[in-house]
Amino acid sequence: MMQYKGYNPPPSNMIHRHMRNRSYYAPPEFQVCLNNMKDKTALGYWRDDPSELPPFIAMNHHEEVGICVPVVEDAKGNEIGYRPLEVDDTELRNILDAIENAPNDAVRLKKFQPLQEIMQRVNLANDECDFGMGLEFGISMFAHGSKYFHKMILKILPMAYELLDRKIYAEIIKAHIADRRKTIVDRNDILAPTQMQGPAIGTFRVMEDLSMPVPVPAPVEEAPVEEEQQDPDDYISKIRAKGVYVNNTKAGGKKKAAGGSSDWG
């Protein structure tokens, strides 16, 4: 692989590549490499910033989640980049559970009030360049997994990623919420499998005599394969067209409970 050190696949169908075999709880920072179909565990590269090389290989975990954002000091010595949610993990989990387990939509809407207050603090934090607060809040709701938070996630997370200059993650989370499945699939029902091939990988036989020279495979020149360029929003439009869109934004949508607009979708 060393001879292909600078190999970088073309940007066409980028969102579909990131969505392939993506599990229900995999955040945009997690690029899936291997899936265990029995216990649903996965191994993959973790990048806090999409422009960084993979710093480590991670495994999905159903209890722990973390974030990493740049923090700097202003002229007065105050840290800028992150501020806490003002609720601890247990309190936030109880709020989210209460919303998910509400007996009806009217009760559920009332229980959204604490989240609305946090969202107001997130907007204030964004204005003051503490972008990490929105990232933590959005990832926490995403990790909870309830469909009732999808609409609020789409208000929080894409904005957080845009402000942190992690634009590809904003596109991934929008596509994932639109096509969030609990089964691990390649999603070829959305886009046909690509014809693009990666770098050729040499195969070697075991050498018993260490004095023998090790054969080095010659570079393989492959004919370029033209792929249709895809707009990031095109993935979501194809989901809508195929009728598997799960974000409840189809014509007609869901009926809203009495008492105001809903922040769950």
pLDDT tens digits along 229-240: 555 567 777 777
Mean pLDDT of 105-125: 93
What SS3 class is residue 166?
Answer: coil
Say how many C-beta atoms besides its own lie within 10 A of residue 201's C-beta. Answer: 9
Q: Is 219 left (phi over 0), alpha (psi -120 to 50) or beta?
A: beta
Per residue in 148-178, pLDDT (tens digit) is 999 999 999 999 999 999 999 999 999 999 9
The conformation of residue 264, written as its DSSP 8-state character, comes to: -
Q: Are strands 56-59 and 42-46 parallel, antiparallel or unpaired?
A: antiparallel
Q: Please, are residues 135 and 160 in contact by the beta-carbon 8 Å criterion?
A: yes
3-state class percentages of the chain: helix first, strand second, coil last, to nearest 5:
35, 5, 55
State how far the Cα of 123 lies from the Cα of 109, in Å rounded to an integer: 21
Mean pLDDT of 122-138: 90
Mean pLDDT of 63-76: 55
Mean pLDDT of 120-138: 90
State how far the Cα of 219 lies from the Cα of 200, in Å rounded to an integer: 8
Q: Would you state the pLDDT for residue 170?
A: 94
Q: Judge whether residue 190 has pLDDT over 80.
A: no
Q: Judge whether residue 251 has pLDDT over 60.
A: no
pLDDT band at 249 (very low <50, low <70, confident <90, very high): very low
Q: Would you state the pLDDT for residue 32?
A: 84
State how far the Cα of 93 lies from the Cα of 72, in Å rounded to an integer: 29
State how far the Cα of 43 lies from the Cα of 35, in Å rounded to an integer: 7
